[in-house]
Amino acid sequence: MYRSLFKFVKNKIPRISPTELIALRSGNTSLDRQILQGQINFPRKIEYTQKFPEESLNELFEKFDNSTIYPNDNDNKWIKYLAENKYFSFLIAEKYGGIKLSVNELSDVLTKISSVDPSLGVATMVPNSLGPGELLTLYGTEEQKDNFLPKLANGEMIPCFGLTGPDNGSDATGSIDKGTVIKVDGKLKIKVKVNKRYITLAPVANLMGIAFELEDPDNLIGKSGVTLALVERGHEGLIQDTHHNPLNAGFPNGTIKGEFILDIDQVIGGEENIGNGWKMLMECLSAGRGISLPATANAGCKVGTFGIFNYMKVRKQFKIPLSNMEAIQQKFNNIIYNTWIVQSSVSLTNDILDNGNSPAVLSAIMKQQTTERGRMALNEAMDIHAGASICLGYSNFLEKFYRGTPIGITVEGSNTLTRSLIIFGQGLNKSHPYIYPILDSVLNENMDKFKKNFNGIVSHSLGLYFKTFGFGKDLEKQIVDFAALTNFVALKGGLLKKEQMLSGDMADIFSNLYLALSVRYYHMNNNASELLTNYVVKRLMNESQLKINKVIDNLGPERFLLQHLKKTVKDIKYEEERNLFNEVMNNENIINEVKKNIYIKNNILEDLEKVNTLDKDDPKFKILKDRIINVGEFEN
Ligand SMILES: Cc1cc2nc3c(=O)[nH]c(=O)nc-3n(C[C@H](O)[C@H](O)[C@H](O)COP(=O)(O)OP(=O)(O)OC[C@H]3O[C@@H](n4cnc5c(N)ncnc54)[C@H](O)[C@@H]3O)c2cc1C
């Protein structure tokens, strides 16, 4: 019987490319697996002792003059400031002169810098996520580490990493630049031709990590495949002469081009790591996806919430403050809803990562959800701030974040692809307790492993299915329902790659469950507001239930076995919306949590906070109010 089952499964599994297989084998699992097992254990809460001094951050913020980071006519002074003051060293070990931060601290620092200026945040984030620093630390030869890491830590070298080009965007290795192993004067060398675009920091970098497909037609090395190498500015044949302008956001982004010769020891990790490039990149991707982009989204959400919280109380129309209007209250509830989710999920994910895990699927969820929810929060904030957020000037605290949102959504795995292909598609293989082991047993023709895991999946699926008929607390019950539904959807096998609407909806449910858990986790640790916690969890669960219903309706005959999982969703009532708004206005714990890790000093946010503490007759009130209400005026 197992033989025919083995054959059946073999025909059912999709064709998996070597790059997909590497992605599947990279990183590990955490709450994503527990969700699919229907049982949750939260990680250990991490409290850290600050390594990077608060005074250094404050000094940067006090000095920062809001000038554009790039392009500029100030000789790249902010990039130089960051580099020289160790802001680019947060992944580098102390023994090389770095200030290696815990994930929690790195995330807090990035959030705070981004709250002042998102471009300053991007410039800090890039050297501290996927790039030469991390790649050298993990895979560099001792010589490479000794040579480059101290220079990266002290800011002498500014890194960037170039993977994508005109023909390789989402399909990063599809039509990637090529390199060839050649022999010059009896020595092995690599000849490469690169045409990279969209590379952050490239216009100011002097140490470029580049990825290319190495070919060895004359079998000189006997190795080939995606390879990562380092090349320094000024290398003969390397061209760094153009930059892009991503929505006037003001951070350096540009091209790396040219045809040049590399020594073998310019390959990161030396000859041994030729052909391992994709694996190395996949293993490192969790920082950018799981830490940096969520931290920037968190900053945008927090600034938007804090600013609007104060603005709507001071801005009046029709003789009443905006905050007294229900239409505004509803929009503000949407802002706090998404902000609370982003803040909570950042906190949970940081703790998971600081506990030593690198969960690939959770990182993808974080990347997609926080950037997407950041966009939703900012859209609502822009509507409330209205003309004041459209016109540039001192009082506009939103526009920088608004312009930055599509960038976070596009980079490091564009959200459309991440949602509809990666989160559930990869999650199914990676996070499910039995699917990958079965896949692996089929790929390796290992019948014993197949039998063991096949029996495992059968009892796991039946157990979960019967559990769906039982009772349970709301979120815990929805987790079990989703885990059981997953086992039915998994029967689609390789078809799921094409059925991206289904995969996208399953990704949303999977993500929402993780986010709802994070909101509970945040409440356990910070105890800010039970009412807000319950509201957010209920709304997330409502969104998920609608999707569960939709997925079941779109399945084949198996949907008849799942009818009991479909439920009528009782939407949030107007009264609940009113209660939530009052809670946020009156329970100071909430706004105090939002305020954490954003910089509120000598800026419009400080004015906004202060104005609401002053008596209307205080002369300072009018001064501040005018500053808040007026928008930038420029000479014609
Ligand atoms: C400001 C900025 C900074 C960047 N920084 C860097 C950097 O430092 N280093 C670097 O190497 N790269 C960098 N990138 C490149 C970035 O990673 C790519 O832009 C990204 O991978 C998307 O590629 P693309 O823009 O060519 O979109 P495309 O690949 O053309 O995708 C177009 C659309 O199709 C969707 N899509 C594509 N394939 C699928 C699929 N199979 N299923 C469903 N949907 C799909 C995508 O989600 C997207 O919505 C940066 C880009 C920008 C804009």
Full DSSP string of 467-502: HTTS---HHHHHHHHHHHHHHHHGGGGGGGGT-HHH
Contact 271, 253 (CB under 8 A): no
Q: How confident is the model at residue 12 (pLDDT cuts 50, 70, 90)?
A: confident
Name the average pLDDT for the chain: 95
Specify the range with the lowest mean pLDDT, choosing from 30-39, 84-93, 334-343, 469-478: 469-478
pLDDT at residue 347, as a whole number: 98
Q: How confident is the model at residue 493 (pLDDT cuts 50, 70, 90)?
A: confident
Residue ID of nearest Cα to ligand 1 atom 39: 417
Residue 177 DSSP label: -
Q: How confident is the model at residue 285 (pLDDT cuts 50, 70, 90)?
A: confident
For helices 619-629 and 604-611, angle between their N-to-C axes, nearest 10 degrees: 130
pLDDT at residue 331, as a whole number: 98
Atom of ligand 1 nearest to the CA of 414: 47
The architecture CATH gives domain 160-283 = Beta Barrel (2.40)
| Domains of the chain by residue range | 2-42+292-586, 54-158, 160-283
Average pLDDT value for residue range 86-90? 98
Average pLDDT value for residue range 110-132? 96
Q: Which of 19, 134, 164 to mutate to test the pocket of ligand 1 (most atoms within 8 A of CB)?
A: 164
Atom of ligand 1 nearest to the CA of 160: 8
Residue 293 Cα, ligand 1 centroid: separation in angstroms?
15
Residue 236 has pLDDT above 80, yes or no: yes
Residue ID of nearest Cα to ligand 1 atom 41: 417
Residues with CB under 6 A from ligand 1: 161-164, 169-170, 198-200, 246, 253, 407, 410-412, 414, 416-417, 420-421, 500
Residue 571 Cα to chain centre, angstroms = 29
Residue ID of nearest Cα to ligand 1 atom 30: 169
Q: Which of 134, 417, 503 to mutate to test the pocket of ligand 1 (most atoms within 8 A of CB)?
A: 417
Atom of ligand 1 nearest to the CA of 246: 1
Residue ID of nearest Cα to ligand 1 atom 2: 198
Residue 172 Cα, ligand 1 centroid: separation in angstroms?
8
Stretch (H or E) spanning 381: helix 360-385
Average pLDDT value for residue range 1-25? 80
Please write the tens of the pLDDT for every residue from 305-364.
999 999 999 999 999 999 999 999 999 999 999 999 999 999 999 999 999 998 999 999
Residue 321 DSSP label: E
Here the tokens at position 152 are 């990266």
Could you give the percent of the chain with pLDDT greater than 70?
99
- Whether 54-158 and 2-42+292-586 are alike in CATH topology: the answer is no
CA–CA distance, 363 with 370 (Å, rounded to integer): 10
412 is catalytic: yes
Residue 287 has pLDDT above 70, yes or no: no
Residue 432 Cα, ligand 1 centroid: separation in angstroms?
27
User: Any residues with CB less than 8 A from the CB of 363 and at least 6 apart, and which?
Assistant: 27, 285, 286, 289, 290, 349
Please write the tens of the pLDDT for every residue from 550-568.
999 999 999 999 999 999 9
Here the tokens at position 42 are 């939260």
Atom of ligand 1 nearest to the CA of 211: 11
Instruction: Tell which residue, 424, 576, 449, 568, has the closest CA to residue 503.
Output: 424
Q: Please state which CATH number belongs to domain 2-42+292-586.
A: 1.20.140.10
Residue 472 has pLDDT above 80, yes or no: no
For 257, phi then psi, to 5°, come to -135, 175
Atom of ligand 1 nearest to the CA of 413: 21
Residue 408 has pLDDT above 70, yes or no: yes
Q: Which of 175, 375, 410 to mutate to test the pocket of ligand 1 (most atoms within 8 A of CB)?
A: 410
Q: How confident is the model at residue 371 (pLDDT cuts 50, 70, 90)?
A: very high
Query: How many separate helices (H) and strands (E) can be counted in the chain?
Result: 26, 9
pLDDT at residue 19, as a whole number: 81
Residue 120 Cα, ligand 1 centroid: separation in angstroms?
22
Residue ID of nearest Cα to ligand 1 atom 52: 198
Atom of ligand 1 nearest to the CA of 407: 1
Average pLDDT value for residue range 450-472? 93
CA–CA distance, 440 with 443 (Å, rounded to integer): 5
Residue 18 has pLDDT above 90, yes or no: no
Residue 13 has pLDDT above 80, yes or no: no
Average pLDDT value for residue range 507-533? 98
Atom of ligand 1 nearest to the CA of 244: 1
The C-alpha angle 288, 294, 295, rounded to 5 degrees, equals 95
Neighbouring-strand partners of residue 200? 253
Q: Please state which CATH number belongs to domain 54-158.
A: 1.10.540.10
Residue 413 Cα, ligand 1 centroid: separation in angstroms?
6
Question: Which one from 105, 283, 380, 412 is the annotated catalytic residue?
Answer: 412
Here the tokens at position 373 are 């929810």
User: Any residues with CB less than 8 A from the CB of 69 and at least 6 apart, and which?
Assistant: 76, 78, 79, 117, 119, 120, 123, 250, 251, 252
Separation in Å, CA 347 to CA 19, 44, 205, 333, 596 = 31, 12, 32, 21, 12
Q: What is the CA radius of gyration of the chain?
A: 26
Residue ID of nearest Cα to ligand 1 atom 49: 416
Question: Sign of dihedral through CA atoms 272, 273, 276, 282?
Answer: positive
Please write the tens of the pLDDT for every residue from 420-440.
999 999 999 999 999 999 988
What is the DSSP code string of 88-154?
A: T-TTS-GGGT--PPPHHHHHHHHHHHHHH-HHHHHHHHGGGSTTHHHHHHHH--HHHHHHHHHHHHT
Residue 412 Cα, ligand 1 centroid: separation in angstroms?
7
Residue 357 Cα, ligand 1 centroid: separation in angstroms?
26
Q: By three-state DSSP, how is residue 257 classified?
A: strand
Q: Which of 19, 170, 292, 503 to mutate to test the pocket of ligand 1 (most atoms within 8 A of CB)?
A: 170
Residue 199 Cα, ligand 1 centroid: separation in angstroms?
11
CA–CA distance, 16 with 180 (Å, rounded to integer): 26
For helices 500-526 and 474-489, angle between their N-to-C axes, nearest 10 degrees: 150
Here the tokens at position 278 are 């994709």
Average pLDDT value for residue range 471-484? 92
